Amino acid sequence: MLILNSDMIKPTTGAVRRSFNPSTMNRLLPLATLAALLFLSSCNAVLQGMLGYHQPKRLSEKQHTRLLKRLSAEQDQSYVLDTGYYYLLNIFDTTEKRLQKKNHYQPIQALYFGHGQYPEAWFINCYAPGFPNLDWAGDGHFSTFPPHTAAPIDSLLSFDALMREATAFTATSQQPQVAPDQAYTVVVFWNRMMFRQCRRLNNVVRNHLGQSGVPHRILYINNDNLYAFEVSRP
């Protein structure tokens, strides 16, 4: 494990990674409620502006390309999540998997898969404190590598299952895989709908990976189409 400081990076041994603490949910419930309000048509325009919220809509190729540049993302590492993901999540039993489904459906996420099929750290908008900007780096989550997870990790979706629902943005993109001989893999869910918050998370993730010194790659999955579909459903 690596301890990341602002001026140095050093390896440690025998350290224990801090896991998700359920008690943090109490202070995050108001934020989760606020996030839910954003999807109501009656949501106050001033509040939307403060959070950087835009009504969901499908992106043109030109819009997508422009926003990828603002994220410093490579087009051949970029993907589009479509409506199949919505139906995939609804396969699972709502009674037993309600929390897991809610977490996987959130618009802004960073999943540290590393070299395995399931993430070892997970960051989701509804677990991030702060207003009007979400504080992704709070509570020392990114003080080590891999980071301390902010959200409870589950095994609902594997890396392969997720990527099967993501369409490559360019024809040259290949179906990615995670394996010990591959670069450390992080998946970032982003969108125009909450782009300011997405970009802030992206900056934290990129800086954290850069400090780690570990060979890595970031796969960017845009989910604007998914939310545009949800809003248009009768």
Q: Taking residues 86-111, what's their average pLDDT? A: 91
pLDDT of residue 234: 65
Residue type, 197: Q
pTM of the model: 0.82
Q: Which helix (H) or strand (E) holds 122?
A: strand 121-124
Residues 136 and 123: beta-carbon distance below 8 Å: yes
pLDDT at residue 174 above 90?
no
Residue that has been written with the tokens 């850069």 in this structure: 210
How many C-beta neighbours within 10 Å does residue 130 have? 13
How many C-beta neighbours within 10 Å does residue 77 have? 17
Q: What are 220's strand-pairing partners?
A: 78, 188
pLDDT digits (tens, 9 = 90+) for 184-214: 999 999 999 999 999 999 999 999 999 999 9
C-alpha distance across the termini of the chain, in Å: 49
Q: What are 80's strand-pairing partners?
A: 167, 222
pLDDT of residue 50: 79
pLDDT at residue 25 above 60?
no
Residues 77 and 219: beta-carbon distance below 8 Å: yes
pLDDT at residue 14 above 90?
no
- Number of Cα atoms under 13 Å in the Cβ half of residue 135: 9
pLDDT digits (tens, 9 = 90+) for 39-85: 444 446 667 777 788 989 999 999 999 999 999 999 999 999 988 99
Cα 22 from chain centroid (whole Å): 19
DSSP state of 92: S
pLDDT of residue 5: 44
Residues 1 and 15: beta-carbon distance below 8 Å: yes
pLDDT of residue 20: 54
Domain coordinates in residue numbering, the chain: 28-232
Residue type, 170: T
**The dihedral sign for the CA sequence 159, 85, 92, 148:** positive
